[in-house]
Amino acid sequence: MDCCIYEAIRGMWSDTQIIRTPPGAYDSHGRWEEPIPFEMTVKAVIQPAQAHELVKVPEGRRTKGSVVVYTQTKLQTADVKSKVQPDVILWHGDRYQVEALEDWTDDGGFYKVLALEIGQ
């Protein structure tokens, strides 16, 4: 069913600001260098998340505001092993952290992203 979503939303893309933090690294002297976050603009459609989409989120975090984002840009989720920070989506004056990503690029030409509001 999600593969048909692309047809419905392709004319609704809007510019959306994303804050991405690259992985940090150690310099040649063994000192940790903090990464510098940067902003980028992607085309996306953002909708409030529905209850059935929150099953991927631990119960204690389901009380936060949540959105579903459809985009052709692969957004980052957290990855402790590779020291990757999750992307942050700026929408209606609030910040949402990417929690889950579904790859629908083969079937629909987009990624479906679940993001939770930060600081609520």
Q: Which pLDDT score is estimated for 61?
A: 56
Per-domain residue ranges of the chain: 2-22+32-117
Count helices and strands in the chain by DSSP H and E runs: 1, 8
Name the CATH code of domain 2-22+32-117 (choices 2.30.30, 1.10.3470, 2.40.70, 2.40.10): 2.40.10
CB burial of 41-53 (b: ≥16 within 10 Å; e: otherwise) equals: ebebbbeebeeeb
Give pLDDT tens digits for 42-83. Answer: 999 998 887 766 666 655 555 568 899 999 999 999 988 888
This prediction's pTM: 0.82
Question: How far apart are the C-alpha atoms of 96 and 118, rounded to whole Å?
Answer: 5
